Copies of this chain bind each other. A is one copy, B any other.
Amino acid sequence: MYYQQEEQFRYHILAMQRAGNRELTVQLKELDLTPSQAEVLTVLNERSMLTLKEIGQHLICETGSPSRLVNTLVKNGLVEGKTDEQDQRARRYRLSNQGKQKCTAVKQIEDRLYKHIQSIYTEEELKILNQLFTKYIEQTDFHSVFRKRSLYEGDPDSGEL
């Protein structure tokens, strides 16, 4: 068969994403959160007072402007927004106290996921995988997201220009 490895690769990526997302969905259900909502909380926990557009630039789960996603969190009292004083169009968002609490709970659940990953791959294998992934990601819009989120280095502020 032509492209056998390529086809396998393509469906592997899809399956891995689906599997991971389901795992997270189940775990996060006890917090009444979806994986996407949890990612927003994580982003706002790292860098507060972001506009919608900025939040979008830090999300891997979604490209465009995550209006609905963030507004759901506002409605649920986890995030609060204020109109930007310089720009009346923009709103700046931050975690509420309840949101901060949720966020620590989210971290525990993420740790479970990371431990699961650790149980499957050695640190050496993960490095190989991530290195190869980077070759792909570099060619996509996501590259800047990873930099902004500081997901490449252990250093938690190198993405902030």
A interface list, Cβ under 8 A from B: 1-21, 60-61, 63, 110-111, 113-114, 117-118, 120-121, 123, 125-130, 132-137, 139-142, 145-146, 149, 151-152, 154, 156
A132:B128 contact, CB within 8 angstroms: yes
A5-B123, A8-B152, A125-B132 given; name 20 further pairs at CB < 8 Å: A2-B111, A3-B111, A3-B114, A3-B118, A5-B127, A6-B113, A6-B118, A8-B126, A9-B121, A11-B60, A11-B146, A12-B129, A14-B21, A14-B61, A15-B133, A15-B140, A16-B136, A16-B137, A17-B17, A18-B60
A135–B129 CA distance with the chains assembled, in angstroms: 12
A155–B108 CA distance with the chains assembled, in angstroms: 43
Q: Helix, strand, loop or mixed for chain A's interface? A: helix
The count of identical subunits is 2
> Chain B residues near A5 (CB, 8 Å)?
123, 126-127, 130
Most buried by B among A2, A6, A121, A128: A6
**Closest partner residue, chain B, to A133 (CB atom):** B12
What 8 A-B pairs come out closest when comparing CB atoms? A17-B17, A6-B114, A12-B133, A3-B114, A5-B126, A15-B142, A19-B140, A1-B154
